[in-house]
Amino acid sequence: MLSGVKLARITLGCVIIWEVLTRIPLIQAFYTSTSTWPTSVFLPSTSITYSILSFPHTILTLDQYYPFLLLLLLHALLELGNVVDLITLPTSDAVSRLLSWYLYVSLTLRNTWLAYILDRYIIVFGLLLGFADYGMPERGRGDKEMGLEKFLHLYLDASLSKYNDPSRGWTSNPTPPTLPALDTYTRHTYFARIIYTILGPDLLAQLTPTVVYAYVTGSVYYNVFEVGTCSQTTSWVPTVMFNRWNVFTSSEEYVTWEVAVGTFNDGRVEDVWRGEGGEVDWRLPDVGGIKKRGGRWRSFQYLAEGTAEQEEALWGWMCGENEGLVEYEFWMVKAMTERDMGYGGSRKRLVKKWKCEREEETEGRDKGEREGIEEEEKGGSGNSKQNENSKGNDEF
């Protein structure tokens, strides 16, 4: 029979394999020298510790597609071996588990834009479970007192921050126009919408506070009372539960989606973000979001401020992704959430207007700049002024 720790390791291993393999379609867009976040735009400014922890995915792969792909596949195979060993043998190799953990840390640090809270938990669980074989002391009276202190801290942090929320989003009667949190969170997937249809907005409103109550009850159980032979897990479960409270935010007051209106050299105007061709559609996408930009594409940092080099990498990506694209406008659209799965009128905000610079244009500009430098060396000044104007026109 599998122990609790072993079962947790197997589950974590399967999650790691899945998360590593789902990065494969994202390599070109987020993990190479021509991606939206090449190492050249951030690694020189990081610390030595950061460089060491991210070494496999930042330096070893040379920022190239196939080395990165190979590293992902090797990581998945390594973790698969750990899972098989856990199922067939008394335990898996501690060195192998630690190596897998290190590789996941490196993968996360390669592009922190894409880091979910799930990645944070994988890293925490992976480290703690890796040392679970070395034994922990039995819980005594002092441990119970410590548990009470942890619970008190948890209670103060959770209850004060959630119930003092001005919008009262995690109660059954939030401040208008805010909706109960479960009403807004059950809109993002097909399964959640089925639950919404079955329960309805009124029952969801009544159930919303029970999420918080259930979590506090679980915290009391793990922090205060004995948990039989599960003494190995009682030292790390409270920590994770404490962190989990930081995930609870208020009810979602609005939803956002993105539209990138691109103009092509043949006169076409399309949404290059959605990438489905045809006319630009400003309406809220269907449940599940835009297929081409699902998953970690939702972490595309279009509101982030960066250096000129970072912006060139970020915004220039779609120019290389869409052949013949001349320029595009990137819009953020927002609609307020309303009762009965409804949404209010949408508003849009222009985030960025970007002109694509083609290779032939770059060559022409470089040639002009070289000619201007040659004229300057000869004592001419007219071409120098012309080049300054050209550079100014290239800045957005």
Highest mean pLDDT out of 200-209, 298-307, 309-318: 309-318
Tally of structural domains, the chain: 4
Residue pair 101/123 in contact by the 8 Å Cβ criterion: yes
pLDDT in tens, 154-182: 555 555 566 667 787 878 888 887 888 88
Q: Which residue has the tokens 């430098």?
A: 373
Residue 306: the pLDDT is 87
Residues 280 and 242 in one domain: no
Lookup: tokens for 52:
């060491």
Same domain for 74 and 188? no
Q: Which residues pair with 212 in a beta bridge?
A: none
- Give the pLDDT confidence score for residue 156 in this predicted structure: 52
Q: Reply yes or no on whether the pLDDT at 70 is more than 90.
A: yes
Give the end of a domain, one of 197, 220, 247.
247
Query: In this structure, what DSSP letter does residue 298 have?
Result: G
The more confident residue out of 239 and 187 is 187
Of the pLDDT bands very low, low, confident and very high (cuts 50, 70, 90), residue 214 is low
> Both 120 and 51 in a single domain?
yes
Whether 145 and 94 map to the same domain: the answer is: no
370 vs 316, more confident:
316
| Domain end point (choices 82, 101, 134) | 134
pTM of the predicted protein model: 0.70
- The answer to whether residues 152 and 105 belong to one domain is no
Radius of gyration of the chain (CA): 26
Asked if pLDDT for residue 376 goes beyond 60, the answer is no
Higher pLDDT, 197 or 243: 197
Can you tell me whether residue 353 is helix, strand or coil?
strand
**Is the model's pLDDT at 216 over the cut of 80?**
no
Asked if residue 218 and residue 240 are part of one domain, the reply reads yes
pLDDT for position 224: 53
Q: What would the two tokens of residue 133 be?
A: 């074989």
Same domain, 54 and 161: no
Whole-number Å distance between alpha carbons of 342 and 353: 31
266 lies in the same domain as 324? yes
User: What's the pLDDT score for residue 220?
Assistant: 55
Residues spanned by the domain of 104: 4-134
- Is the same domain home to 179 and 198? yes
Note whether 274 and 350 are same-domain residues: yes
Same domain for 114 and 162, yes or no, is no
What pLDDT is attached to residue 159?
Answer: 56
| Residue partners of 59: CB distance under 8 A and separation at least 6 | 39, 43, 51
Query: With 70 as the cut, is the pLDDT of residue 234 above it?
Result: no
Task: Say yes or no to pLDDT of 215 above 90.
Answer: no
Residue ending a domain, among 214, 247, 280, is 247
Model confidence pLDDT, tens digit, residues 140-154: 444 444 444 544 555
Q: Is pLDDT at 374 greater than 60 in this prediction?
A: no
